[in-house]
């Protein structure tokens, strides 16, 4: 790897867009050079709702970054989430090369290609195909088949897909802002790169990214991605509940949440009421902080209950030895860690970035976790193990077809 390799990241969410630039050193460490931030105006629940507004927001964040770092951003790793994301586990199989009975990297890629080919319905495209486990000649429990002997290689892969139209809309907005998309990366997987360690992923860990429009979930077991899910609830739902419950404008509800909000009503019981401006024709009102917390608690209980149900359905609750890592803008909400610990029945900590240097106090905010993870993700693309395969947006149609056919006829 070159001594100085620049990597950029663009994280586009429901409430903000941020752009980051990092430098990969000779040892593979990412040094953050700067970040640009712009409140989001064109996204809804993680998907593009207004292309012009989204493009302008991305361009503003990138321009701020370029001015700060005095460098041009030509391409970037881009985050993706939203309700259009789906995932499933799929198996693929391939015969090993006739001239060698040892598993080569190309054998692993052929097996993963067959797994993802069986998992993609019409109108969708693969974003990630992450191997979960391997079999050689029917023998299970193989984590890395490279160099092992056999005649038949089978893989189970976790395949993440997105709606083609939604992916194209996001890519178009990024490119209209003057930045080429290197690769789309699912938000919780990017956050996991920055916030979890290798030992945590081996023991089992849940990354819970609670953003403005969606809650993104990634489960790691045995060192690899085991499950991902995007839930259509986030911080804006909490703000909307406050606005309705108190009959105040949305902006006032957001400020009340950020300044006085708490997830545990008992923690603020007895505190002085706060003043909340109403609509133009109404007078300001005095709001009980305990009542405000009750509104927040009700929605967060619903959200965390959905996460707990997802983990129960997956059957992995007893296997997550490292607990859960909270990130996203809502992770800063007071009391949420305690509530999550109670509902999920496991240790919960707030995410702190690993594998990056030069992180200022501003960038320690959970808002930037996905962006930092995108930088780490990009830095590792040239360092992936032989079994890793990522579906990319570009590539000749005929080459992809030939690779698919070779998976069955090596």
The answer to the question of residue 58 being in a domain is no
- How many CB atoms sit inside 10 A of residue 323's CB? 18
Question: Which pLDDT value is given to residue 386?
Answer: 39
Question: Which pLDDT value is given to residue 100?
Answer: 62
Q: Are residues 226 and 119 in the same domain?
A: no
Residue-by-residue DSSP string for 106-124: HHHHHHHHHHHHTT--TTE
Residue where one domain finishes, among candidates 319, 334, 351: 351
The answer to the question of residue 129 being in a domain is yes
- Give the three-class secondary structure for 174: helix
Would you say 249 and 243 are in contact if contact means Cβ atoms under 8 Å apart?
Answer: yes
The answer to the question of residue 182 being in a domain is no
| Residue numbers of the chain with a pLDDT score lower than 50 | 1-3, 384-410
Would you say 367 and 359 are in contact if contact means Cβ atoms under 8 Å apart?
Answer: no
The answer to the question of residue 228 being in a domain is yes
Question: Which pLDDT value is given to residue 4?
Answer: 59
Query: What is the domain range of residue 404?
Result: 91-158+395-408
Question: Which pLDDT value is given to residue 1?
Answer: 37
CATH code for the domain in which residue 219 is found:
3.30.420.40
Q: Are residues 219 and 316 in the same domain?
A: yes
Cα 276 to Cα 235: distance, rounded to the nearest angstrom: 19
Please count the structural domains in the chain.
2
Q: Are residues 326 and 219 in the same domain?
A: yes
Q: Are residues 115 and 256 in the same domain?
A: no
Q: Are residues 216 and 321 in the same domain?
A: yes
- pLDDT, one tens digit per residue, over 245-274 is 999 999 999 999 999 999 999 999 989 999
Q: Are residues 201 and 146 in the same domain?
A: no
Residues in the chain: 410
CATH code for the domain in which residue 101 is found:
3.30.1490
- pLDDT, one tens digit per residue, over 105-115 is 888 888 888 88
Would you say 126 and 88 are in contact if contact means Cβ atoms under 8 Å apart?
Answer: no
Question: Which pLDDT value is given to residue 35?
Answer: 92
Question: Which pLDDT value is given to residue 360?
Answer: 79
Q: Are residues 261 and 347 in the same domain?
A: yes
Q: Are residues 266 and 347 in the same domain?
A: yes
The answer to the question of residue 43 being in a domain is no
Euclidean distance between the first and the last CA atom of the chain, given in angstroms as a whole number = 32
Which of 189, 3, 158, 225 lies closest to 78 in space, CA to CA? 189
Q: Are residues 223 and 326 in the same domain?
A: yes
The answer to the question of residue 242 being in a domain is yes
- Give the three-class secondary structure for 300: helix
The answer to the question of residue 223 being in a domain is yes
Q: Are residues 229 and 329 in the same domain?
A: yes
pTM: 0.83
Cα 42 to Cα 17: distance, rounded to the nearest angstrom: 10
The answer to the question of residue 38 being in a domain is no
């Amino acid at each position: 790897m070159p001594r100085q390799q620049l990597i950029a990241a663009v994280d586009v969410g429901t409430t903000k867009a941020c752009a980051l630039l990092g430098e990969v050193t000779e040892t593979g460490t990412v040094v953050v050079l700067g970040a640009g931030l712009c409140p989001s105006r064109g996204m809804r629940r993680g998907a593009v709702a207004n292309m012009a507004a989204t493009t302008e927001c991305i361009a503003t964040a990138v321009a701020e970054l370029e001015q700060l770092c005095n460098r041009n951003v030509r391409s970037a790793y881009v985050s993706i989430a939203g309700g259009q994301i789906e995932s499933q586990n799929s198996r693929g199989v391939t015969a090993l090369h006739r001239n060698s009975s040892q598993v080569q990297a190309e054998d692993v890629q052929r097996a993963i290609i067959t797994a993802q080919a069986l998992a993609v319905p019409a109108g969708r495209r693969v974003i990630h195909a992450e191997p979960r486990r391997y079999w050689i000649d029917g023998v299970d429990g193989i984590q890395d088949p490279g160099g092992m002997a056999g005649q038949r290689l089978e893989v189970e892969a976790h395949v993440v897909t997105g709606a083609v139209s939604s992916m194209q809309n996001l890519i178009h907005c990024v490119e209209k802002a003057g930045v080429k998309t290197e690769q789309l990366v699912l938000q919780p997987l990017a956050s996991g790169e920055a916030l979890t360690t290798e030992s945590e992923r081996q023991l089992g860990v849940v990354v819970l990214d609670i953003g403005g429009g969606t809650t993104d979930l990634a489960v790691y077991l045995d060192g690899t991605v085991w499950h991902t899910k995007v839930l259509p609830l986030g911080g804006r739902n909490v703000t909307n509940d406050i606005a309705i419950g108190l009959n105040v404008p949305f902006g006032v509800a957001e400020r009340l949440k950020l300044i006085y909000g708490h997830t545990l009503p008992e923690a603020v019981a007895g505190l002085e009421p706060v003043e909340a401006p109403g609509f133009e024709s109404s007078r300001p009102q005095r709001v009980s902080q305990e009542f405000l917390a009750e509104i927040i608690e009700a929605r967060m209980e619903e959200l965390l209950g959905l996460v707990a149900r997802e983990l129960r359905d997956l059957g992995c609750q007893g296997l997550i030895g490292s607990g859960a890592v909270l990130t996203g803008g809502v992770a800063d909400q007071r009391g949420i860690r305690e509530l999550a610990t109670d509902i999920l029945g496991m240790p919960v900590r707030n995410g702190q970035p690993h594998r990056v240097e030069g992180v200022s106090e501003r960038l320690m905010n959970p808002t930037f976790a996905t962006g930092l993870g995108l930088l780490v993700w990009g830095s590792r693309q040239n360092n992936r193990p032989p079994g890793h395969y990522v579906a990319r947006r570009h590539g000749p149609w005929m080459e992809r077809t030939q690779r698919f056919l070779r998976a069955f006829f090596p």
